[in-house]
Amino acid sequence: VIRFVAGELRLSVLDAGRIWLDGGAMFGVVPRVLWQRERPPDEQNRICLAMNLLLIEDGRQRILVDTGAGDKWDGKGRSLFGLTPIDTRRLLEPAGIVPEQIDVVINTHLHFDHAGGNTRRDGSGRLLAAFPNAEYVVQRGELELARWDNERIRASYQSDNFEPLVAERRLRLVDGDTDFTRHLRLRVVPGHTPHMQMALVAAGGTTVAFPADLVPTASHVPYPYIMGYDLEPLVTLTTKKRVFPEAVREHWRIVFEHDAELPVGVLEEREGRIRARAVELEG
Ligand SMILES: [Zn+2]
């Protein structure tokens, strides 16, 4: 767990385990020779990715952004993605809290490696909210997409991760950019999916961004490094060109959700190129 302070907020980056995904799909049109040294693939051509989550504690509410892949996996799914499932109780342990203490879960989008920990199975196999006192928040358009069972997107969504929440009336749908609390703004960053949202936390002069799959790792900062998974890669490019200069200018601390080596960094521009670098975290 990485902990830091922004104004009156306590922030923690939680480690929800590793997932191994196809390196070619992770880097889209960028040839393997250009990424393999930085992100060495295994014998199945997969690269190792983290699932970093953000916990925001403002003294009143505890807000968790994304929930990782969860622990509802069978052996086949585990081996396909090299998953070591972590249950929600163990996930929150390093932060010294239990799932019952989470008030809000923000889903950036509903892909299984971001929303898989939303729900769990009880002893009798029934699906329940993994955070029993939480309201879950997602963009309305993202839910609609997740429910549209077509062949191109089907592999990325699992209804077990969101339909039980709809049934329990715990899913709050938002439309577009939303000021969620005084310190937390949800901003739509389209491209990877058309309605993916980024969490933007601002307090005490510090801005922390959780852009999810807009920039999954620090290696995805260069503009053409766009995932093959993205539904609208050219929209991703436009969004990156809109968001990154702002991040440079305002020195955002960026949580790279899928980066095991650089979970938090800043963007800087040198000779017209924007790159990520590690950052010292105070507090
Ligand atoms: Zn995704």
Q: How far is the CA of 77 from the centre of ligand 1 (A)?
A: 17
What burial class does residue 45 get, using C-beta atoms within 10 Å of its C-beta: 0-12 exposed, 13-18 middle, 19+ buried? Answer: middle
Question: In sequence order, what are the residues at sequence separation of 6 or more whose Cβ sits closer than 8 angstroms to the Cβ of residue 38?
Answer: 219
What separation in Å is there between the alpha carbon of 204 and the centre of ligand 1?
30
| CA of 50 relative to ligand 1 center, distance in Å | 13
Between the CA of 114 and the centroid of ligand 1 the distance, in Å, is 7
pTM of the predicted model as reported, rounded to 2 decimal places = 0.97
Cβ count within 10 A of residue 156: 17
Instruction: Quote the ligand 1 centre to 247 CA distance (angstroms).
Output: 21
CA 207/CA 80 separation, integer angstroms: 36
Nearest one of 76, 74, 84, 77 to 49, comparing CA atoms: 84
CA of 194 to the centre of ligand 1 (A): 11
CA–centroid distance, residue 278 to ligand 1 (Å)? 24
Q: From the CA of 143, how far away is ligand 1's center (Å)?
A: 13
Going from the Cα of 216 to the center of ligand 1, the distance in angstroms, rounded, reads 9
Written as tens digits, the pLDDT of the chain (283 aa) is 899 888 999 999 999 999 999 999 999 999 999 999 999 999 999 999 999 999 999 999 999 999 999 999 999 999 999 998 788 999 999 999 999 999 999 999 999 999 999 999 999 999 999 999 999 999 999 999 999 988 888 889 999 999 999 999 999 999 999 999 999 999 999 999 999 999 999 999 999 999 999 999 999 999 999 999 999 999 999 999 999 999 999 999 999 999 999 999 999 999 989 999 998 776 4
19 CA distance to ligand 1 middle (Å)? 12
Kindly report, residue by residue over 157-171, the tens digit of the pLDDT.
999 999 999 999 999
With left for phi above 0 and alpha for psi between -120 and 50, is residue 129 left, alpha or beta?
beta
d(CA 238, CA 99): 37
pLDDT in tens, 111-137: 999 999 999 999 999 999 999 999 999
The mean of the pLDDT values for the chain is 96
Q: 227: CA distance to ligand 1 center in Å?
A: 10
Spatial distance between the Cα atoms of 15 and 81, rounded to a whole number of angstroms? 17
